[in-house]
Structure 1
Amino acid sequence: MTEGTDTEPNADPGRERALRTARLRTSHADAETVAAALRPDNTDSMEMAVEGDALVTTVSRETTGGLQSTVDDTVVNLTVAETIVDTVQNYE
């Protein structure tokens, strides 16, 4: 028995693995500010774009577990950033 984390037991080591991708589209009163708050935490596996009042975040990872973890972290960060932006705008 061989130990390893590769999910494809007969995978060709020279072949690139297919990426798993998720696209999150969220609407915000101030999408640019939410994006600016999140950008320092972005990794190389993430792309973020502001489209009007929407923030579109695309995450690509080699494993489903890695994709899930990154998406979970991103959703939490989005929730916190949105709450802070709303609070600041309502109490200025």
Structure 2
Amino acid sequence: MRRIEIRTTHDDPALVARSIAPDNTPEMETRTVDERVVTTITRDSTGGLRTTADDYVVNLAVADEVAQLSDRQTTPNHE
């Protein structure tokens, strides 16, 4: 078995974790620790691990961008 743990920092880690969790496979676990989203991925092969990690990082980037846009829409503009 191959395993990787990916830790990323976000302004709203709980929102990002909730956003990406539906895309997780049974071999993935996403949780929040302090200001971080922590995801553990386990696969039988290195190639499978690499492919899953790559897909996860793309999903994570989209979830983070959406969370940031959502925050901008709900935060009053005081300019």
TM over 0.5: yes
1:35 alignment partner AA: A
CA distance in 2, matches of 1:44, 1:51: 20
Q: SS of the residue aligned with 1:43?
A: coil
Q: Unaligned regions of 5+ residues in structure 2, if any?
A: 75-79
Q: SS of the residue aligned with 2:51?
A: helix
Q: Unaligned regions of 5+ residues in structure 1, if any?
A: 1-18
In structure 1, the partner of 2:17 is 35
In structure 1, the partner of 2:50 is 68
Larger RCO (alpha carbons 8 Å, 6+ apart): 2
CA distance in 2, matches of 1:53, 1:90: 19
Choose which of 14, 19, 26 in structure 2 pairs with 1:44: 26
In structure 2, the partner of 1:88 is 70
More helix by share: 2
1:72 alignment partner AA: D
**Structure 1-normalised TM-score?**
0.78
Q: CA deviation at 1:90?
A: 1.4
Runs of 4+ off more than 4 Å: none
Q: CA deviation at 1:91?
A: 2.3
Q: CA deviation at 1:48?
A: 1.2
1:77 alignment partner AA: N
Aligned-pair identity in percent equals 41
Q: Work out the number of aligned pairs and report it.
A: 74
**Structure whose CA Rg is larger:** 1
